[in-house]
Amino acid sequence: MDAQSLRCFLRIAELGSFGRAAQVLNLTQPTLSRRIALLERELRAQLFIRHQRGISLTPAGHALGSRALGLVQQLDELQADVAALDREPSGNVTIGLPPSLVSVLNGPLIERYCKAYPRVRLFVHEGISDLVGEKLVDGELDMALMFSTRTRLRNASVNILATEEMVLASAPSAAPAKSQLTMSDLSSLPLVLYRLPNYIRWRVDVAFQQLGVQPRVTSETNTLSMLLELARRGVGSAILPRSAVEQDVSLNLLTAIPIRGMSVNWALAISRDREHSLAVQMLIRNIEELVLEQIKAGKWQATLQVSR
């Protein structure tokens, strides 16, 4: 017994005619008659009596009619509920996020997404681009927000979101008196840098190699938090994306001077095995919308690359 057959039965009972019911239901009369015949066969009871004035319900028809409307309404509600569940993201999503965007993007993103989609459990792995890129390729992550170190990743699509300038972050007392610097200006300054392997450190090393100079590296570390702490204490200046030092700059703990010709592209890499998941699609949309909002509001000093 299906909902459509019950709807046909109810319409015939309401209109008192197979012909009029067929017109309303946009069916041929033979098709409608076959549906009712199958329903009667399934119920093992005759539902209608045909006579000269039209049709009337049998006792079995009256019994079915008293309950069929409620059954159809329940089936409609169940269908709507199931469809709504299918449209609402659910399940688990794992994303890799960079520590340098924690206040600009990571925090607001997780807060927004978790409130909007409570049926999704979001797992966040914070790490440098080299690390989250490897985890994405190995299938440990569904997506990763990372530096665009390469345009292709195995079994993943890579979409550039924004371009951001790199800056020299220094304690106010140790900051060079310039509004913009070149890599040549940095060659004589004490520096605290990431330890290899690290994309930012690789970019810095290549830039100095192209100048044919050896930088003054006073200390190396593998975490952003330690790098910022060393810069605040005046151990040396750090070379980082502007977003990584924005909070310290607002508190006057560090200064940030742009470095000419040095920038990074932020990209969203998505596993092709998971890109059609509704939960993943909604997270992609949230990321792109938030990137646009933060840049337009001036909260992230970057150049938008996504076309949204």
Which residue ranges make up each domain of the chain?
A: 3-87, 91-304
Arithmetic mean of pLDDT, 242-254:
93
pLDDT greater than 70 at residue 308: no
Tokens for 305, please give them. 């690359």
3-87 shares its CATH topology with 91-304: no
* CATH T-level fold of 3-87: Arc Repressor Mutant, subunit A (1.10.10)
What crossing angle do the helices spanning 3-15 and 18-25 adopt, rounded to 10°? 130
The model scores a pTM over 0.85: no
* CATH T-level fold of 91-304: D-Maltodextrin-Binding Protein; domain 2 (3.40.190)
Residues 65, 67, 71: CA angle, nearest 5 degrees:
115
pLDDT greater than 70 at residue 152: no
Arithmetic mean of pLDDT, 189-212:
94
Range in 65-69, 139-143, 236-240, 265-269 the model is least confident about: 65-69
Question: What was the pLDDT predicted at 307?
Answer: 46
Q: What percent of the chain has pLDDT over 90?
A: 56
Range in 66-80, 86-100, 136-150, 206-220 the model is least confident about: 66-80
DSSP-derived 3-state class of residue 209: helix
Q: How far is it, in rounded angstroms, from Cα 241 to Cα 219?
A: 19
For 97-140, the pLDDT digits (tens) are 999 898 889 999 999 999 999 989 999 999 888 888 888 888 88
CB distance 126 to 99 below 8 Å: yes
Question: What was the pLDDT predicted at 3?
Answer: 80
